[in-house]
Amino acid sequence: MSKFLKVTAATALSLCIAAPAYAEKLGLGRAALPEEIAAWDKDVSPNGEGLPEGSGDALVGEEVFAEKCASCHGDFAEGVDNWPKLAGGADTLADKDPLKTVGSYWPYLSTTWDYVNRSMPFGDAQTLTNDEVYAIVAYILYSNDLIEDDFVLSKETFLEVEMPNASGFILDDRLTSEAHFVGDACMSDCKDEVKITKHVVFKGDPNSPDDPVSESAGEAAQDAATAEDEAKAEDAPKAEEAAVVEAAALDAELVKAGEKVFKKCKACHQVGEGAKARTGPVLNGVVGAKLGHVENFKYSKTMLSMGEEGVVWNEANLAEFLKKPRSFVSKTKMSFAGLKKEDDIKAVTEYLKSFSE
Amino acid sequence: MTSRSQKDTPSRRAFLKGAAASVPVVAAASVAQAEGDPLITEVQDWARYTGEGVDEHPYGLPIKFESDVVRRNVEWLTADVISSINFTPIHALEGTITPQGCAFERHHSGAIELKKEDYRLMINGLVDQPLVFSYADLERFPRENHVYFCECAANSGMEWAGAQLNGAQYTHGMIHNMEYTGVSLRSLLEEAGLDAAGDLADKWVYVEGADASSNGRSIPMEKALDDVLVAFKANGEALRMEHGYPVRLVVPGWEGNMWIKWLRRIEVTSQAIESREETSKYTDTLADGTSRKWTWEMDAKSIITSPSPQVPVRHGKGPLVISGMAWSGRGAITRVDVSKDGGKSWETARLAKEGERMALTRFYLDTTWDGEEMFLQARAVDETGYVQPSKDALRDVRGENSVYHNNGIQTWWLKADGELENVEIS
């Protein structure tokens, strides 16, 4: 009955309408097993509660980072394209464009460990060993000059690391610091004159490459992108000059469209002059090649055996694969879900063909 | 069976095209004409031939003429569309309920396909008995229905330093408003038992999703026991995949990031976990470099949805309907004022319905346009007496680096040609 009263208090107003009352337990659900809780309850608290056994240092971390993280976050945690920078930015928080990284902004080290452990690498989450996570976190700390290269990070040493911005946060104080927003509102003669102080930066469709404003608005794009929390656009959108080999048979428009689609692939694949293997193999010459054609790249067994059987990356096979990678090559390591639009598949294939000379 | 399709004669098709191209058909219809309107005087195809049968669209989409009323994203805003956001076409919607199919999406590792049969919800931590619920279990708890808005804390975030994007969809489209059906989080917590948690005043629940981002947030117990909903339906039907099918958390009035999608675990804890989404993100940096955290509530805010840059005035002088929406994370909207002169003077708008707590309110100002330029603004007032501030007033307190929680008053410059532009004014 006491619980019922609590509900009435909380929802006094709506109770007369239809709020259900919870007096008794319903006996629904089943007991969670210890191994189930262990499998899902992995969060780590600021005091280190929840950290598992294991350890790692920056030297090992550098190798793991290069293999698993650098394709997006850069070899030195400096960030590639719009992907987050993890290092640098010290003392920039009061600047016009602060650079918020693990070193400059994150108040607790537990957050870094927890996030790397449960949510990274992007597209292959929850696959790192505890030692790898410790090593990656150590490398990120080292990149921020927060530890020496011989510091071994473990749950025992965890709280020794000082996070520079640990005291940089205050609790939400809007109700006091913004109390002046509560009150009477002016209805007439509120100001003498009204003048335009700022015009819009992107006049038309923000996605249109033809927008004359957007081409010269790099800085604004940068400001705007800071609003999105996943990444900071350091470079304005620019039409990268692709080293496209203009073969006569290629549809230039389609190649151009494909270059755009390829942005989705860039996190893992490089193509063109100087391309290097990342999470995925270099894609130069892929059209027409056998499956698994790049030597020394660690393909899935399925991919290699299909290649040995003579399966070739012709347009039909590429289309199948790009539509749903795992149904064409079961157990492929490529974690990409697939391209939904046929036009995108055609375009990206044309783009790849331009690197197949 | 394709014989149902319309059988235009070439001449009629050409004529109709001509009519569509000539200046506003709608306007023409209201003006006295020398000849009768052929749309009235001639038998039209749709009045002659039959339309589609009932087996054509087992689940219907909007008619093709509305194909531009869709979510849109801005490519260069994020590194990857898998971890990104798109915007609700609020400029083209009316009333308050957002159709699920065009309600904004924000994912950190993409929208996942999770079957009801594969769905599990765990409650653990400081509870008497850790439990696992199936989807079918959830359906056996007493259900509640509530309409709530869900706004991303980064809504209008691009506009902190000045006017950036030209359209209500882009400046204010990270919001939707739906009628949710679900069970109270309170009922699930009490099923697991909270005696083990002791004094509830300083306890938290940590909630996380089943997707690869495992987005997790800490919610104070007081809120968890108050009005948080574990929802499985929206606007009468199943949640869409992109909104967390089969089960999402609904945290009324609080920032959208806390509305965990694909909800898989609820842990009662003695402290905030301080996850990535509540430290490195969704914290608001002030001018001096310190940052506010735990800024959960969404401040009162409003936006004129039409006219707006994507919805210019095409009808010339005369009657003009100004339509917009307002909302507050601290309760119900009690009043909305509209200014046509950039805030020199204000008129109180008409609320379509009395404001509801933590839900969108539609407002109208039925006015007249004399063909001169206007600086259109709306200003929301909520039940706590909070008056939506100007952008400058907000920046005076917070600086320009907050990213999140920008609820400053928006200005649309209506020009003499009927076009509108996102501007800032003195």
Query: Does the distance separating the beta carbons of A190 and B345 come in below 8 Å?
Result: yes
Mutate to test the interface with B, among A43, A133, A205, A340 (most CBs of B within 10 A): A43
Tokens read off for B170: 């882009």
Determine the average pLDDT of the residues in A53-57.
98
Contact: A189, B130; criterion CB under 8 Å: no
Q: Chain A residues with CB inside 8 Å of B80's CB?
A: 82-83, 122, 230, 263-264, 267
Residues near A283 by beta carbon (within 8 Å), at least 6 away in sequence: A265, A269, A270, A271, A275, A352, A355
A259 Cα to chain B: minimum distance (Å)? 14
- Whether A243 has a pLDDT exceeding 60, the answer reads no
Lowest mean pLDDT among A260-269, A276-285, A319-328, B128-137: A260-269
Cα separations in angstroms, B397 against A31, A112, B175, B401, B419: 49, 30, 24, 11, 33
pLDDT of residue B209: 98
Q: How many CB atoms lie within 10 A of CB A305?
A: 14
pLDDT in tens, B374-420: 999 999 999 999 999 999 999 999 999 999 999 999 999 999 999 99
Of A7, A96, A108, the CB nearest to B279: A108
Burial A117-131 (b: 16+ CB within 10 A, else e): bbbbbbbebeebebb
Q: Where does the pLDDT of residue A257 fall: very low under 50, low under 70, confident under 90, or very high at 90 and above? A: confident
Location of each CATH 1.10.760.10 domain in chain A: 55-160, 252-353
Residues A326-338, mean pLDDT to the nearest whole number? 76
Q: Residue B402 is part of a domain; what is its CATH number?
A: 2.60.40.650
CA B32 to chain centre: 41
Say if residue B287 is in the same domain as residue B305: no
* Nearest-by-Cβ selection for B287 from A11, A41, A94: A94
For the cut 70, the answer to whether the pLDDT of residue B66 exceeds it is yes
Any alpha helices (H) in B23-145, and if so which ranges? Answer: 25-30, 38-41, 45-48, 135-138
**Residue in chain B lying closest to A91 (CA):** B289
Edge-to-edge, what's the strand order for the sheet holding B291-293? A169-171, B291-293, B284-285
B45 shares a domain with B85: no
Tokens of B263: 């909800």
Give yes or no: residues B222 and B125 share one domain. yes
Within 8 A of B404 by CB-CB distance, chain A residues are 229
Collect all residues of chain A within an 8 Å Cβ-Cβ radius of residue B290.
93, 168-170
**CB < 8 Å to B403, chain A:** 226-227, 229
pLDDT bin (cut points 50, 70, 90) of residue A242 is very low
Cβ atoms of B425 and B411 within 8 Å: the answer is: yes
Residue A250: the pLDDT is 82
Per-residue confidence band for A23, with pLDDT thresholds at 50, 70 and 90: low
Q: How many CB atoms lie under 10 A from the CB of residue B314?
A: 12
* Sequence letter at residue A287: V
Q: In the predicted model, is pLDDT for residue A339 greater than 90?
A: no
For the segment A287-292, the average pLDDT, to the nearest whole number, is 88
Cα–chain center distance at B326 = 11
Measure the CA–CA gap between B303 and B170, rounded to whole angstroms: 12
Decide: A237 and B76 in contact? Cβ < 8 Å: yes
B166 and A28 in contact by Cβ < 8 A? no
Cis amide leading into A121 (omega within 30) = yes
Cα–Cα distances in angstroms (integers) from residue A313 to residues A53, A106, A288, A303, B115, in the given order: 45, 45, 5, 11, 33
Return the DSSP state at A215: H
Residue A238 has pLDDT above 50, yes or no: no
Looking at CATH, the fold of the domain delimited by A55-160 is given as Cytochrome Bc1 Complex; Chain D, domain 2 (1.10.760)
The yes-or-no verdict on residue A204 having pLDDT over 90 is no
The answer to whether B403 contacts A206, with C-beta atoms less than 8 Å apart, is no
Paired with B324 in beta bridges are B304, B363
B chain contacts of residue A173, beta-carbon cutoff 8 Å = 292
Q: Is residue A166 within 8 Å of A108, Cβ to Cβ?
A: yes
- Least CB–CB distance from A227: residue in B157, B344, B426: B157
Pick the residue of B114, B155, B241, B283 with the most A CBs within 10 A to test the interface with A by mutation: B283
Q: Give the per-residue SS3 of B362-375.
A: EEEEEEEECCCCEE
Statement to judge: residues B270 and B308 lie in one domain: no
Q: Among candidates A92, A144, A21, A29, which has minimal Cα distance to B184? A: A21
Name the least confident of A64-73, A168-177, A244-253, B51-60: A244-253
Name the pairing type of β-strands B229-234 and B248-250: antiparallel
- Joined together, the tokens standing for residue A4 give 């019922």
How confident is the model at residue A240, as a pLDDT? 35
Whole-prediction pTM? 0.80
Looking at B292, B310, B339, the residue that finishes a domain is B292
Q: Cis before residue B246, ω within 30 degrees of 0?
A: yes
Q: Which of A106-110, B20-24, B144-148, B234-238 has the lowest mean pLDDT?
A: B20-24
3-state SS of B307-358 is CECCECCCCCCEEEEEEEEEECCCCCEEEEEEECECCCCCEECEECCCCCCC
Q: Is the pLDDT of residue B116 over 80?
A: yes
Enumerate residues 6+ apart whose C-beta is below 8 A from A119. A125, A126, B108, B109, B212, B213, B214, B276
Asked which of A200-214, B9-23, B135-149, B255-269 is least confident by mean pLDDT, the reply is B9-23
Q: Which residue of B has its CA nearest to A194?
A: B426
Q: ipTM value of the model?
A: 0.90
Residues of B within 8 A of A185 (CB-CB) are 337, 346, 379, 381, 387
B43 Cα to chain A: minimum distance (Å):
39
Q: Tell me phi and psi for residue A290, to 5 degrees.
A: -75, 155
Look at residue B234 and give its three-state secondary structure: strand
Distance between B36 CA and the closest CA of chain A, angstroms: 38
Map A82-121 to HEC letters.
CCCCCCCCCCCCCCCCCCCCCCCCCCCHHHHHHHHHHHCC
What local confidence, expressed as pLDDT, does residue A265 receive? 80
Domain boundary among B243, B260, B292: B292
- Averaged pLDDT of chain A: 82
Question: With bands split at pLDDT 50, 70 and 90, how would you rate the model's confidence at A18?
Answer: low
Using CB atoms, pick whichever of B267, B384, B423 lies closest to residue A200: B423
Q: What is the mean pLDDT of residues A136-151?
A: 96
Chain B contact present for A38, CB below 8 A: no
Mean pLDDT of A328-351: 81
Substitution target from A47, A229, A234, A262 for chain B, most B beta carbons within 10 A? A229
Nearest to A268 by CA among A297, A301, A310, A296: A297
Q: Tell whether the torsion through CA atoms of A302, A304, A305 and A306 is positive or negative.
A: positive
Question: What confidence tier does A261 reach under pLDDT thresholds 50, 70, 90?
Answer: confident
Chain centroid to CA B331 = 17
DSSP H helical segments within B117-272, as ranges?
Answer: 135-138, 168-172, 185-192, 221-226
Q: Check A196 against B424: CB less than 8 A apart.
A: yes
Contacts with B73 from chain A: Cβ below 8 Å: 207
Amino acid at A81: D
DSSP character for B416?
Answer: T
Report yes or no on B68 lying in a domain.
no
- Cβ–Cβ below 8 Å for A98 and B269: no
pLDDT at residue number B45: 97
- Chain A, residues 254-273, CB within 8 A of chain B, namely 263-264, 267
Smallest Cα distance from B158 to chain A, Å? 4
User: Is the pLDDT reported for residue B11 higher than 50?
Assistant: no
Whether residue A222 has pLDDT greater than 90 = no
Helix (H/G/I), strand (E/B), else coil: A210: coil
State whether B79 and B179 are in the same domain. yes
A7 or B75, greater pLDDT: B75
Chain B residues within an 8 Å CB radius of A114:
273, 275-276
* Secondary structure (3-state) at B272: coil
Residue A57 contacts residue B252 (beta carbons within 8 Å): no
Q: Please report, for residues A86, B268, B273, B279, B292, the alpha-carbon distance to residue A46 in angstroms, rounded to integers and kept in the order given.
A: 19, 16, 7, 11, 18
User: What's the confidence (pLDDT) of residue B185?
Assistant: 98
Q: CB pairs below 8 Å between A and B: how many?
A: 321
Do residues B276 and B307 both lie within one domain? no
- Tell whether A335 is within 8 A of chain B (Cβ): no
pLDDT exceeds cutoff 90 at A140: yes
Residues sharing a CB contact under 8 Å with residue A233, sequence separation 6 or more, in sequence order = A82, A221, A222, A224, A225, A226, B76, B77
The verdict on residue B416 lying in a domain is yes
B137 → closest Cβ in A28, A81, A229: A28
CATH class label, A252-353: mainly alpha
Please give the residue that has the higher pLDDT: either A242 or B296: B296
- Closest chain A C-alpha to B251 CA, distance in angstroms: 15
Whether residue A224 is predicted with pLDDT greater than 50 in this model: the reply is no
The region, left, alpha or beta by phi > 0 then psi within -120 to 50, assigned to residue A252 is alpha
Q: Could you tell me if B35 and B100 lie in one domain? A: no
How many CB atoms within 10 Å of residue B411?
A: 26
Q: What is the mean pLDDT of residues A341-345?
A: 86
Gap between the Cα atoms of A342 and A315, Å rounded: 12
Domain count, chain B: 3
Residue B99 sits in which domain range? Answer: 75-292
Q: Do B426 and A204 touch (CB under 8 A)?
A: no
Q: How confident is the model at residue A212 (pLDDT cuts 50, 70, 90)?
A: very low
pLDDT bucket at A16, cuts 50 / 70 / 90:
low
B206 is a domain residue: yes
Confidence of residue A49 (pLDDT cuts 50, 70, 90): very high
Res A22: pLDDT: 55
- Per-residue confidence at A221, pLDDT binned at 50, 70, 90? very low
Q: Which residue of A has its CA nearest to B144?
A: A19
d(CA B425, CA A2): 56
B275 and B314 both lie in a single domain = no
* pLDDT above 60 for A6: no
Nearest-CA neighbor of A135 among A76, A61, A64, A69?
Answer: A61
| B44: DSSP letter | P
Residue percentage of chain A with pLDDT more than 90:
48
Contacts of A295 (CB under 8 A, 6+ apart): none
Here the tokens at position A170 are 């205050």
pLDDT of residue A148: 95
Determine whether the interchain pair A28/B379 forms a contact, defined as Cβ–Cβ distance below 8 Å.
no
Judgement on whether residues B417 and B310 belong to the same structural domain of the protein: yes
Q: Is the pLDDT confidence value at A40 over 90?
A: yes
When the pLDDT of each residue in chain B is averaged and rounded to a whole number, the result is 93
Whether A15 contacts chain B with CB within 8 A:
no
| B44 and B97 fall within a common domain | no
The arithmetic mean of pLDDT across residues A118-132, rounded, is 95
A336 has a pLDDT exceeding 90: no
Mean local confidence (pLDDT), B94-99? 98
The pLDDT of residue A275 is above 70 = yes
Q: What is the mean pLDDT of residues A69-80?
A: 92
Nearest CA distance, A123 vs chain B (angstrom)? 7
Residue B146: which CATH number?
3.90.420.10
- Please check whether residue A137 is in contact with residue A48, taking contact to mean a CB–CB distance below 8 angstroms: no
Interface with A, mutate which of B280, B338, B365 (most A CBs under 10 A): B280
Q: What is the pLDDT of residues B185-225, one digit of tens each?
A: 999 999 999 999 999 999 999 999 999 998 899 999 999 99
> Tell me, what's the pLDDT at B31?
61
Question: CA distances (Å), A119 to each of A111, A148, A151, B166, B172, in order?
Answer: 11, 26, 25, 34, 29
Q: Taking residues A221-236, what's their average pLDDT?
A: 39
Give residue B344's pLDDT band: very low, low, confident or very high (50, 70, 90).
Answer: very high
Q: Are A261 and A332 in contact (CB under 8 A)?
A: no
CB contact under 8 A, A20 and B281: no
Q: Which residues of B touch A268 (CB under 8 A)?
A: none
C-alpha pair distances (Å), A120 with each of A114, A283, B105, B251, B298: 10, 24, 21, 27, 30
Helix (H) or strand (E) segment spanning residue A342: helix A342-353
pLDDT at B15 over 70: no
Do residues B161 and B284 share a domain? Answer: yes
Q: Is A44 helix (H, G, I), strand (E, B) or coil?
A: coil
Task: Provide, rounded to the nearest whole percent, the portion of chain B with pLDDT above 70.
Answer: 92
Cis peptide before B307 (omega within 30 of 0): yes
Which residue among B83, B160, B214 sits closest to A118, beta carbon to beta carbon? B214
